[in-house]
Amino acid sequence: MVSALNRRYRAGDLGKKDYERLVTTFAREWRHIAAIDVDEIAAGRLAAAHGLRGFDAVHLSARKLLHSAEDAPSVAFSSSDERLNNAAAAEKLTVMWAKP
């Protein structure tokens, strides 16, 4: 999340005050966010199958692990990266598509 905010800040999509507020809020709320272990081998397979960058494959792998849990919550996959969203859709995950 912080990486994405950094990217938006550097691109000029976020002003300094908004960037700092969002980073601070995210850090404060982190303890309420679920952390998921990742299967690195599965992530590597996803990277190879869909031509994903390393952390994009980790992101998708974590969501697939959550999706496969017996009592999995209904959660949509979300990314600002079209290739990653296409990979998630190909993996039969519900994707929350960003509008251009």
**63-99 pLDDT, tens per residue?**
888 877 777 677 788 888 899 999 999 999 999 876 5
Residue 62 and residue 15 share a domain: no
Residue 85 and residue 64 share a domain: yes
Tell me which residue has tokens 């959660």.
75
Residue 44 and residue 81 share a domain: yes
Q: Indicate the number of domains in the chain.
A: 2
Sequence-separated (6 or more) residues with CB below 8 Å from residue 39: 61, 65
Sign of CA dihedral 45, 51, 56, 62: negative
**Domain interval for residue 7:** 2-32
Residue 15 and residue 60 share a domain: no
pLDDT in tens, 41-72: 999 999 999 999 999 999 999 988 887 777 76
pTM of the model: 0.67
CA distance 60 to 48: 12
Task: Compute how many other C-beta atoms are within 10 angstroms of the C-beta atom of residue 86.
Answer: 16
Residue 75 and residue 27 share a domain: no
Residue 72 and residue 26 share a domain: no
Residue 74 and residue 92 share a domain: yes
Residue 50 and residue 25 share a domain: no
Which pair of tokens denotes residue 23? Answer: 């980073």
